[in-house]
Amino acid sequence: MLPKMKISANARTGKKVQLTSWKNPSDPSIGSFSSGFDPLRIGLPQSFIWKDRSPYWRSAQWNGRIFIGVPNMD
């Protein structure tokens, strides 16, 4: 991530902007991991990490300002 970088998702269109890993430090082709918001989830959005298109990790829900339930976020 870089300062001011945005990761986004549009629930209406299903379009998402996400980060994708490299295969390795010397091979910048698409790797196994990606990160972003899932635009098709119902309710408040959550940040996801996918491994080979399957959910690998997810965050708490994002209310537009903080991740709900994460200590020291407010």
Tokens found for residue 4: 């001011």
Please report the pLDDT score of residue 3 as a whole number.
Answer: 76
| Structure confidence by residue, pLDDT tens digits, 3-55 | 777 777 777 787 777 889 999 999 999 999 999 887 667 788 888 999 998 99
Grade residue 74 by pLDDT with cuts at 50, 70 and 90: low
Q: What is the pTM of this model?
A: 0.69
Q: Integer distance in angstroms from the first to the last C-alpha of the chain?
A: 22
Domain presence at residue 31: yes
Domain presence at residue 51: yes
60's enclosing H/E stretch is: strand 54-61
The number of domains in the chain is 1
Domain presence at residue 24: yes
Domain presence at residue 3: no
Domain presence at residue 38: yes
Domain presence at residue 35: yes
Name the residue range of residue 39's domain.
13-61
The CA dihedral of 34, 22, 19, 13, to the nearest 10 degrees, is: -70
